[in-house]
């Protein structure tokens, strides 16, 4: 399991580093890819996914995330929350089949926990602002 997690993390990390080198200045897309790689590693580690489980979990997770991202931003807040809840209910059985009840319950709380940790980390180590280059 640790070997699988290490390989997955290295692959995603090298992809994000290669992508970041193509886009100097650390644009938003490169940052998003790095965050995504960290999220994959975090969820894989926290849920202790086996290679077989990961192979089933991540495609389902991608569909789940895509539907969550598809919730209209202009809806009233309660309607957005209801739409997100309906999507979670829709995918719950699929995640239970892969993870079991306990890990499925933990997974649904992980997205928020990951965001919280990411924000805390950013607050502890704010990025250094690059000096403004004059004459360019």
**Considering the domain boundaries, does residue 129 fall inside one?**
no
Locate all alpha helices (DSSP H) within the chain, ordered by sequence.
Answer: 2-22, 28-47, 51-69, 77-99, 101-124
pLDDT for the residue 115 = 87
**Considering the domain boundaries, does residue 16 fall inside one?**
yes
**Considering the domain boundaries, does residue 81 fall inside one?**
yes
**Considering the domain boundaries, does residue 108 fall inside one?**
yes
CA dist 49 and 60 (Å) reads 14
CA dist 112 and 110 (Å) reads 5
Unique residue bearing structure tokens 């997690």: 5
**Considering the domain boundaries, does residue 29 fall inside one?**
yes
**Considering the domain boundaries, does residue 133 fall inside one?**
no
In tens, the pLDDT along 55-109 reads: 999 999 999 999 999 999 999 999 999 999 999 999 999 999 999 999 999 999 8
Residues spanned by the domain of 100: 2-124
Cut 0.85: pTM above it? no
Total structural domains in the chain?
1
**Considering the domain boundaries, does residue 135 fall inside one?**
no
In tens, the pLDDT along 37-50 reads: 999 999 999 999 99
Distance of alpha carbon 70 from the chain centroid: 16
Residue 116 Cα distances to 3, 39, 74, 110, 123, angstroms: 27, 12, 24, 10, 11
């Amino acid at each position: 399991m640790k070997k699988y997690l290490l390989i997955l993390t290295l692959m995603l990390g090298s992809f994000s580093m290669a992508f970041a080198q193509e886009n100097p200045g650390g644009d938003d897309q490169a940052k998003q890819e790095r965050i995504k790689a960290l999220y994959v590693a975090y969820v894989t580690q926290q849920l202790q996914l086996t290679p077989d489980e990961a192979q089933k979990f991540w495609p389902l997770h991608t569909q789940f995330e895509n539907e969550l991202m598809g919730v209209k931003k202009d809806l009233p807040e309660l309607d957005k929350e209801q739409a997100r809840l309906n999507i979670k209910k829709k995918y719950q059985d699929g995640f239970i089949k892969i993870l079991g009840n306990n890990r499925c319950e933990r997974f649904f709380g992980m997205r928020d926990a990951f965001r919280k940790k990411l924000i805390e980390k950013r607050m502890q180590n704010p990025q250094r602002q690059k000096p403004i280059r004059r004459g360019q």
